[in-house]
Structures are given as structure tokens and as C-alpha cells.
A and B are shown apart, each in its own frame.
Chain A
């Protein structure tokens, strides 16, 4: 592997042919690297939340949100709708990216607009879901499962909002500089981030709608 090859180099030998490496900087490469780190960090964040979730689920007061007929997520149709909205946002951005890459301005604008629209719709729908749960009497402090539901969706939602801010920044700069040619690279990174958040959401979705037995099995696999 190249990591090991790199770490095995002998720098004191000063080989002359070796000098032609890495000229400074390709901004695209820099942002790409930064995005990889961001996804790793956000991934770790959710990983840790999930680990604590599994650990906490093994205490007797924990009551899963799905499984029994009276539990709210036994029927997960509302969550499916929200998932659909986020998926549409991802797809729309991907189309926008396609437009930007092929220099088709209309498609790019339409894709980005639809992406933003569906993302905001997703956030609104998530809040609607909170209100629905509260109307059923599932408050944040009622049960650790509820607490985790509100907490994880909120943290995820904040990351979507962060993405929207960056996307707005990208669009604004392109508009301001009037240089559509520079759009596709940052837009590509935004799209990637959206897909990533969609994947995170799928994991959260699966976890939050799991029945007690599933959660117990997962927790047992982690040694809790």
C-alpha cells in the first residue's frame, strides 16, 4: 500500500529524481480533502451517538419506539415520507450537478433550487414529526428512546442546515462572480455531502424504528 511505501522512504538519501512531487495547490484537491475529513468527523460523531444509544438501550427504563401496535413508529409511513423528501433533495442536486458539468445552466439552476426546496421540506417534515410525537405524549424527557429520537434528528437536521448555508454560499459566489464554469466543482462536493447525510439518515431511520429485540441484538453484538 502506498501509505507503507511512503512511510518506508529514506529521506536522508536525497535522491535527485525524487523532487518532482506536489506543486502547490490545486484548490479543488484541497476542498476535496477537507470534505473527506468533514465526513469522517461527522461520521464519528454519529457513530458515538449510536454507540451510546445502544449502550443506554440496555437499561430497564428504555422503551423502543417501534414493535408494539401502540408504539408510534410501528407504522413508519411518516418517516418514509421524510426519507423520500431527503432522497429527492439528493437526486435533485445530482441533476443540478449534471447540468453544471454539461454547461446547461437551466438544468443546474432547476436542480439546485429543487434540492434546496426538498431539503427545507425535509426539515419542516421532521419538525412536523416532532409535533406529531408530542401530540401522542412522547416528550423528550419521557423515555431515553424519545430523548434519542429528538436528539439524533436535531443533530442530523443541523447538519442539513449547515449544508444549506454552504450551498447558499457557493451559489451566491458563482452568481456574484458570474462564472458558471466554476460551479461544478464546489457543487459536486455539496452533492457528495448531501448523499452522505442521506446515508446517515438511513442508518438513523433504521435504528430509531427498530423493535426492542433488534436493538437488543445489536447491543449484544457490541458487548453491552
Chain B
């Protein structure tokens, strides 16, 4: 695709005229970003409702007739898959990636706008196929978001027929969509930066998005390979993953395939996926923290190195998800070691965020609150990750609620915290209006305290041995009756968290209708996206002339400067040098 629309002459960007070309078949990265964002948030709400239903069942068993064991498993699966792929990956990269990349590097658009548009529509198709599985005979798959064969495609698992087929097809379509978008993101970052925007002057947001996209481009093929081969096992009857087995008393046609092979492929994608979600979040939270603490990010270079190092290392840890599948002890040792090594750059990042706050001029705005909340939840989830990375500790804890608590803290709640920080931070740019502070603060405290009320007790349930993906606990000796009470309390907290998201939705609707105009650069940010001539930026972003960059993105509170921030495009003489 050669539709290159980044020539410096804005006239070459044919302005879209009709409503349809402007808002529907748009090739403008900002519109595509919003389309991605709305779609992702919509499916995310579906996944949120599913989690509420699961919690109702767990907190108050025997109360809800319409949730039977099969339905429960289907909810678990769809909830997990939607949250990880169709919400977080799509919103962080398709949404924020699309919106921020051209603006932050000073480009007029992505380098392949047509491909970008195609990426969104393909993503939408994948979402439709996914949601369609709720309406096919047998319902959606209930195989767990990991979709392990052989059970995923065998009778006995809910949705073993149409459900799993649609899930695999939807994933394949999603991967195509992601690849089209991802090619655009990396190429744009490498080739369309404006004059003076060296790689090391890019805001950390862009570094995070860039590295995550590269990870995605290299890791999603593993999911594609496993999806294709499993689809063939299911539909045609090949035996890539399916072992010879007897089902319901009859021996099946499968010969000796290898389910473990699927697990390797899945997690070779699955672990980098964690960082596909985490790295953009790391980047965005760094910029939010620096801006709202009016201080340069502590250790910029180290932050970049850490992002790159984490990205590289993330391809060498996948089998820590497979300790219970059994492996040679030397491999267990290897993967435990790499897992613990990855904690080093991660910890460096956490220290640097804290050190950025230290002696900063902290403004407790809503984005800042969410960013600080993220530091808590992420550290918390990271620490339990250190436990689980060790083979001997993982074996008893695997498949218990301890794991559920761990991954929700580290890759559920934490990226969501950053997403909210980012939405509150960039909303004034995207819409031209500022979200209401008071409502935002209420939203923050409900969400932050609420998620602790939900997930902290789950660690304890995990220690007790309460298994995950169970419809009901049943009568086990080792689980005391008090666990029931705890579960009921968790459910109440979860419902409150879920409902409190309505505050956010109300805030958005209210702001779009009659919010106060944000004006130009309301947070006093340095990066380029806030320096556009119009707010919100118009088609082509920069008016007649592209900005030139003269400094990095973190010149806050520079001694002797006239204001407490110097935009990246301000020439040197006018502002004094950085420190």
C-alpha cells in the first residue's frame, strides 16, 4: 500500500468532505483511534458484565438459576479473552497508539493511512465474529482463555463446536488487523518523525508503544500458527495437537499429536502479550507522572533501556506458565531464572517513577491519582509475580485464586489504571473539553480502593487452595466456611467497582455535552501533541508547517526559564538550556 500522505504540503492531504469520509471511512489517524477506542470500550463493558455475573455466582452460589457450570466457564473464557486482546491490546495500541504516535512525533498522519483504516474495519470484523459466538448453537467456547487442546475441541467442553471455531477465526482476523496497524505504527515512528525528533528525544509513551508493537508483530504469529493448526484439528481432523484418545467410550480418529506443543506456542505468544499490554502503559504513565509532578522523568535513558530490555527478555520466559505441565528440571531452572531477571529492569522502572515523584511539584489531578494508583497495583502484582516465577512456589499455587489475584493486579487492574490516567490526561486534547475533577476523583477512589477490596482477599483464598475456573467450591475439607463469606464480600466489592464505572461514563457524556473548554495545553505539557495550532487537532494536525523539535520532552521546572515547562518545539535561545 503506497498511500503516503505525509508530504510536508498539507494541501496534498485531500481533506475529507462528506460525513461518511470524515467519520466512517476515515483515514485520519485521530478518527481511527476514536473508532478503535469506542469499539474496545464497548466490548470491554461486555467483559465487565460477564465478570459481574461470575462474581454473582461465586459470591452467592445456588441463587442464580441461569448461571450453570457451562455458562460459568463460557463467561470466564470470554471475559479473559476479551479483556486481554479485544480491550487492552486494541485500546492501548489501536486507540492510544493511533492517536498519539503522529501527534507526538510531529507527523501529519500515519504513513499508510489506507492500511490504517483497513486495520480498524478488520478489527471490528473480529469483534463481530467473537460476539457472534454468543448466538450460535452451543454458545461461546468455555475452554478458558488459554484454549488448551484437547479439551477445547472435545465434547464436554461448552462451545466445543461453533464456539471454539468462531473464537479461533476471530483471533486470526484480529491478528491480521493488528499486523496492518502495527506495520503502520513502527514504520511511522521510524520514518515520519519531524525535524529534530531524534529517537532519544521521543516521549516514553512512544518508546513503549513502539517496543510493544514490535513484540506484537513478532509474537502474534505464534498465536496465528496455533489457531490455524487447532482449527484444522477441529474442522478437518488433522492431529497436530490432538493425541490419540478415547472420548465417551469411543476411540477418536486422532493419532498421536502433542497438546504440550500448543501450550508452548500459546505462551510464546502469551507472555509477550503481557508486555504488549504493559509497555505502552509504562510509557504513558511515565509521561503522565512527569507532567503532573512538573519534573523531568528520572533516568530517561534507563527507562528506554528498560523498555527495550524487557521487550527482548519477554521472549525467553514463556514456559513459566507451564511448570505444572511438567518439564525437565533444567528447563524449570532456566525459565525461573529468566523470569527473575526480567524483574530487574521492571524494578528499575518502578524506582524511577517513585524518584520522579520525589521532591516533584506533585499536582494531585485525576490523571496523577490514577498514575500513582498504578504504581501501587503494579508493584503489588509484580511482587506476587516473583513468588510465582519460582517453580517450587508455583506448583502449589498454580490454578488457584492466588494466580487470579496476581494477574489481575499486574495486567488487569494496572493497565486499566493507566488507561484511565491516559483518558483523563488526553481527553482535553481529544475532545477540547476537560473531564469533571470531582467526578473523576470519586471514580478513582471507588476504582482504586475497590480493586484492592476485590483482589487482596483473593490471595488468601489462593493460599487456602481455592481453585480457579470453578463454578462452585463444593464441600472440601481444606476450605473453611469463612471462605464463603469472603467470596460474598468480594462480590459486593466487585459490583461496586463495576457500577462505579458508570460515574466515568456519565462524566464523559456530561463533558461532551457541556464540559468546560480545556483551552490550549491545560496541563502545561512539553510534548508535541499539545502544541498543535488547533485543539482538538484538525486533519493534518499541524496547519501549514510541521513543528521542529529542539529538545527532549521533559524540560519541566528548568531553572531560569520563564514558565515551568518548555515545549519540545521551542528553540533554544528563547528558553535556556535543559539541565
Contacts and interface: CB of A to CB of B under 8 A. Distances in A.
Interface stretch (B58-66, B73-81, B255-263, B419-427): B255-263
B24 interface: no
A39 to B, nearest CB: 11
Contact of B201 (A11, A40, A61, A143): A11
Interface in A22-61: 22-27, 29-31, 33-34, 37-38, 40-41, 44-45, 48-49, 52, 55-56, 59-61
B194 A60 contact: no
A112 B4 CA distance: 24
A135 interface: no
A33 B200 contact: no
A19 B236 contact: no
Interface string B191-224: 1111111111100000000000000011001101
Contacts of A52: 225, 229, 240, 261, 265
B187 A45 contact: no
A33 B255 CA distance: 43
Nearest to B566: A14
B2 A170 contact: yes
A186 to B, nearest CB: 6
Given A55-B261, A147-B232, A14 B577 contact: yes
A179 B220 CA distance: 38
B551 interface: yes
A12 interface: yes
B198 A11 contact: yes
A49 B572 CA distance: 53
B232 A151 contact: yes
A141 interface: yes
B186 interface: yes
A11 B195 contact: no
Given A48-B222, A56-B261, A61 B239 contact: yes
Contacts of B201: 11
B88 interface: no
Nearest to B221: A45
Contact of A11 (B1, B2, B200): B200
A6 B201 CA distance: 10
A14 B198 contact: no
A24 B257 CA distance: 51
Contacts of A38: 183
Contact of B217 (A41, A140, A144): A41
Interface in B254-279: 255-258, 261, 264-265, 268
A41 B222 CA distance: 10
A13 B296 CA distance: 13
A13 B268 CA distance: 40
Contacts of A34: 111-112, 183, 187
A56 B472 CA distance: 38
A33 B552 contact: no
A173 interface: yes
A10 B556 CA distance: 16
Interface string A97-122: 00000000000000000000000000
A155 B179 CA distance: 16
A8 interface: yes
B238 A12 contact: no
Nearest to B552: A11
Nearest to A32: B191
B444 interface: no
B256 A61 contact: yes
Nearest to B579: A12
A53 to B, nearest CB: 10
B2 A186 contact: yes
Nearest to B8: A24
B6 interface: yes
Contact of B238 (A7, A27, A49, A147): A147
A141 B255 CA distance: 9
Given A18-B198, A44-B221, A48-B221, A151 B229 contact: yes
A147 B230 CA distance: 12
Given A21-B196, A24-B193, A56-B261, A12 B552 contact: yes
Given A48-B221, A52-B265, A41 B193 contact: no
B577 to A, nearest CB: 5
Interface stretch (B298-306, B340-348, B492-500): B298-306
A141 B550 contact: no
A188 to B, nearest CB: 12
A13 B222 CA distance: 42
A25 B4 contact: yes
B225 A19 contact: no
B187 A30 contact: yes
B548 interface: yes
B559 to A, nearest CB: 13
14 contacts: A9-B199, A12-B578, A22-B198, A24-B106, A25-B192, A37-B187, A45-B224, A55-B264, A56-B240, A56-B258, A61-B244, A61-B256, A141-B239, A151-B238
Interface of B: 1-2, 4, 6-8, 106-108, 111-112, 179, 183, 186-188, 190-201, 217-218, 221-222, 224-225, 228-229, 232, 236-240, 244, 253, 255-258, 261, 264-265, 268, 296, 300-301, 304-305, 308, 546, 548-552, 554-555, 572, 577-579
Given A7-B308, A20-B196, A24-B546, 4 more contacts: A18-B198, A23-B195, A33-B191, A186-B2
